[in-house]
A = this chain, B = another copy of it.
Amino acid sequence: MSDREALIEANQAFYHAFESLDLEKMEPIWLRDPKIVCIHPGWRKLTGWGPIMESWERIFDGVFEMKFELRDLHLLISGDMGVVVTEENLTQRGYDGTMRTQVLATNIYERVGNRWMMVLHHGSPVMQPADNEPPLQ
C-alpha cells in the first residue's frame, strides 16, 4: 500500500470512528501524546489526551446519528507527517432534529511504526454560499 493510500485509509478510519459515536473506537485513532490538538467547529482549541477525549464524549452524547460524506480530499505528505484536507458534508440527528452542515477539516497524522496516528483535527464551518464568491474577511 502506498503512503497516500495508507493515509486515506487512516482518514477514513477517523470518520468511521466519528460516525460510530463510540469513544472506544475514537481512542485508537489518536496518538496518546500531550502535543495533540483538536479544534471542533466554533470551539476553542483543545490540547492533550484528556480534554480531547472528553470533547468526543460530549459530542457523541449529544447526537443520535452522524453521517459524513467526504468530498475533495487534498493530501500533503512529507516524511512521517501526513495532512488530509477535506470537505465534510455532515448530516446529524440530535435532540433538535436533523441538521445538515458543511465543515472544512484539516487532519494531521504522524506515522508511528507503520500506522498513521492523528495528532491534529481542525474543523471549521463554511459560511459562504456555494457561488464561489468568497466574502471578505
Contacts and interface: CB of A to CB of B under 8 A. Distances in A.
A80 interface: yes
B72 A45 contact: yes
Contact of A120 (B83, B136, B137): B83
Given A79-B80, A108-B83, A132-B44, A59 B137 contact: yes
A39 B47 CA distance: 22
B137 A76 contact: no
A124 to B, nearest CB: 3
27 contacts: A37-B85, A39-B124, A42-B125, A42-B126, A43-B128, A43-B137, A44-B126, A44-B132, A45-B85, A45-B87, A63-B136, A76-B81, A76-B108, A76-B110, A76-B120, A78-B78, A78-B81, A78-B110, A79-B80, A79-B81, A81-B83, A83-B120, A94-B136, A106-B120, A106-B122, A122-B124, A123-B124
Given A76-B108, A78-B80, A62 B125 contact: no
B134 A85 contact: no
Give the size category of A's interface with B.
35 or more
Contact of A37 (B37, B74, B94, B127): B74
